[in-house]
Structure 1
């Protein structure tokens, strides 16, 4: 986990320097970190961006204390797991990391509303799309059956074209990160879920 050190240290400094407590934490991988207008898009939710590049769900859990402690959010939005699968982990491993993360959130923040954004159908990782679908399914079932304060935001379906493939307009040339239009879809989907 040493390769995340600089970004985690920056997030720690950001928390220390902050003069107000955000109501909404956005946490997760580079899809969150690179969101250019996140705080503006969710200004009414008093949001803070705590994403760090390349992060896995395992890393989000590992660094929870260093990044989160000191905040007192009213809600949390998480996007992670994409990179775990990209690194060769299995859906069941990602599921276990999610369970650990949810338990950590509950221990620290109580039963605040939490939102898990399903893994996106990126062009670059379409070759392992079945793993993405299965991960989304088992995490969705866990939320439905065992985590009443968690909610699933289905971004996967929203990013497909009429033929059932990733809509290229929503991605940058790398086929992984989001374009401006992609972030528009995310913004609208998340706002609908949180309203």
Structure 2
């Protein structure tokens, strides 16, 4: 986890600079969150905070949870990660266990805070592991369905075309990170889910 320390330290400084400002919807997770540069504009009038850090795995998000998320005293959490774990060769079952460990921390430290898991996206660059992505999403969704106050946000299905393949216009040229159209789709979907804001 040492390679995340510089960026995590910067986020800790950011948290200190807004100490006392609570009741925000905190977006937490990997680069799909961190690179959402229009987050404030896309959810104008809603108190949101971007606490993504680049390249992070679901395991790393759990590791740094106490340092980064708990001090913010969020009103709700929107979470995206798991993509990089699978890209690094982790199995879907491992990602599921990392998710369960994060949820255990949530329930112990922020028991009344609503939690929204954004499904792992079907990116063209990782199409070769799409079965693992589907299975990880399936396992996590099953877990969430048993947890009051938690919800699964299905961005996976709307990011596929009629033939069941990724919609290229939703991605940057690397086939991994979201384009402006991709973020616009996520915005639209998240606004339809109750309890986030």
The alignment's TM-score, normalised by the length of structure 1, stands at 0.96
Offset at 1:71? 1.4
Aligned equivalent of 1:31: 32
Q: In the alignment, what sits opposite 2:162?
A: 162
CA distance in 1, matches of 2:151, 2:41: 23
Decide whether the 8 Å contact of 1:22 with 1:47 is kept in 2.
no
Give the equivalent residue in structure 1 for 2:12.
Answer: 12
Tell me by how many angstroms 1:22 deviates: 4.4
Aligned-pair distance for 1:157? 0.3
Please state which structure has a larger fraction of its residues in helix. Answer: 1
Taking the aligned partners of 1:194 and 1:130, their CA distance within structure 2 comes to 29
Aligned mates of 2:5, 2:123 — CA distance in 1: 27
**Aligned position for 2:118:** 117
Match in the other structure for 1:83 = 84
Structure 1 runs (4+) greater than 6 angstroms displaced: none
Alignment size in residue pairs = 194
What is the rounded CA distance, in whole Å, between the counterparts of 1:103 and 1:42 in structure 2?
Answer: 29
How far apart, CA to CA, are the structure 1 residues paired with 2:125 and 2:151?
A: 27
The residue aligned with 1:43 is: 44
SS in 1 for 2:73: coil
Alignment map for 1:95-134 (pairs within 5 Å): 95-134=96-135
Gaps of 5+ in 2: none
- For the residue of structure 2 that corresponds to 1:44, the secondary structure is coil
Instruction: Note the residue ranges of structure 1 that are not aligned, 5 or more in a row.
Output: none
Structure 2 length as normaliser, TM-score?
0.95
Higher relative contact order (CA 8 A, sep 6+): 2
C-alpha RMSD of matched pairs (Å) = 1.1
**CA shift digits 1:30-63 (9 cap, x unpaired):** 0000001112222333010000000000000001
Provide the residue aligned with 1:177 in structure 2: 177
Matches within 5 A, 1:147-158: 147-158=147-158
